[in-house]
Amino acid sequence: MYAAACRTVHRDSRLTATRCPYPAPVRLWTRALLIAALTGIALVGAAFPPHGWPATVVVLVPATVVLVLAARRPPDQARPSPAIRRGVLVWSLLAAAGLAWEAYAFVRQPDWSRASHADPTLSTLLDPVLEHGPLRVVGWLVWLWAGWRLISR
Amino acid sequence: MTDRTIIIIGFCVVLAAVIVAAIYSHLHRERLATLAETVAHLTRTRTARIVAVLIWAWLGWHFLAR
C-alpha cells in the first residue's frame, strides 16, 4: 500500500525519488529495453553449458549489477501491516519446509559430494531440465526476473 | 514405494502448498501478503537486501552454472 501511494506521488511529480524509498515506476521503453537485455543475457547464459566458467561469468555480471543497485537503494522505514506479518509467518514456514525437505534428501545421499538418483535433492531433479534446451533459457529468465524484482520493488 | 518417490512427493507437497498460498495471497491481499510483498518487506534494510541478492546470486550459480 505504501509502495502504491509512493508510486502515485511519483507519477504526480510532487515527491522526488530522493524522498521516497521506492524508485519511480519504470517507463514503457525502459521496460522494453530491460526485457530485451534480460532476454539477451538469458540466451547468452543458456548458450554456455553448465559446469563451466563462461556460465559462471554470465551469472556474475548481472549479480554484480544487482548487488550494486541493491546497496545504493535507501532503506525503507514503512511499518508492516497485519497482512505482511502473516505473510512473513506463512512464507517463512513454507521456505523452512522446503529447506528441511531438501536437507533430508541431501543427508540421505550415500555420498554427499555426488548426486544420488535414489535420494535426489532439488538440484539433482532440476539438473536434466536446466542442462540444455529451451527450459534452460526459461531457467535463466526466471532467475534474472527474480533478481530484477529484488531491486525494483 | 522407493525413497526417490517419497522425496519427489515431498517436494510436490511443498510446491502445492506454495501454489495454494500464492493464489490465496493474490485473491486476499488484505489478509495475506504476497511472496513479493513479503520479500520486499524483509529486504527493506540495506543489509537484508544485500544478503537476499547474495542468496539469489548463489542460486543462479548453483542451478545454472555449477
Neighbour tally for A82: CB within 10 Å: 11
**Site of grid cell 549479480:** A63
Q: What is the pLDDT of residue A9?
A: 45
- For residues A117 and A125, give the distance between their C-alpha atoms in angstroms, rounded to a whole number: 9
Residues in B closer than 8 angstroms to A146, CB to CB, are 56
> What number is the average pLDDT over the span A26-43?
89
Of the ranges A17-31, A129-143, B42-56, which one carries the lowest mean pLDDT score?
A17-31
Helices (H) and strands (E) in chain A, counts: 6, 0
Which residues are CB-contacts of A121 (< 8 A; sequence separation ≥ 6)?
Answer: A102, A105, A106, A109, A115
Gyration radius of chain B over CA positions:
16
Q: Closest chain B residue to A136 measured between Cα atoms?
A: B64
Q: What is the pLDDT of residue A22?
A: 55
Q: If we measure between CA atoms, which residue out of A117, A149, A58, A37 comes closest to residue B64?
A: A58
Q: What single-letter DSSP state applies at residue A120?
A: -
CB within 8 Å: A139 and B63: yes
Residue A25 has pLDDT above 70, yes or no: no
Neighbour tally for A28: CB within 10 Å: 8
With H, G, I as helix, E, B as strand and everything else as coil, classify residue A62. helix
Condensed to tens digits (0 to 9), the pLDDT of residues A37-55 reads 999 999 999 999 888 899 9
Q: Closest chain A residue to B15 measured between Cα atoms?
A: A98
Does the pTM exceed 0.80?
yes
Residue-range definition of the domain harbouring residue B52:
3-64
For testing contact with chain A, the best of B31, B53, B54, B61 (most A CBs within 10 A): B53
Condensed to tens digits (0 to 9), the pLDDT of residues A100-151 reads 999 999 999 988 888 888 999 999 999 999 988 899 999 999 999 999 999 8
How far is the CA of B39 from the CAs of A31, A118, B23, in angstroms? 22, 34, 16
Number of domains forming the structure of chain B:
1
Q: What is the pLDDT of residue A39?
A: 95
Residue B15 has pLDDT above 50, yes or no: yes
Q: Cell triple for residue A23?
A: 524508485
Condensed to tens digits (0 to 9), the pLDDT of residues A57-93 reads 999 999 999 999 999 988 887 788 999 999 999 999 9
Domain ranges of chain A: 2-73+82-152
- For residues B1 and B42, give the distance between their C-alpha atoms in angstroms, rounded to a whole number: 40
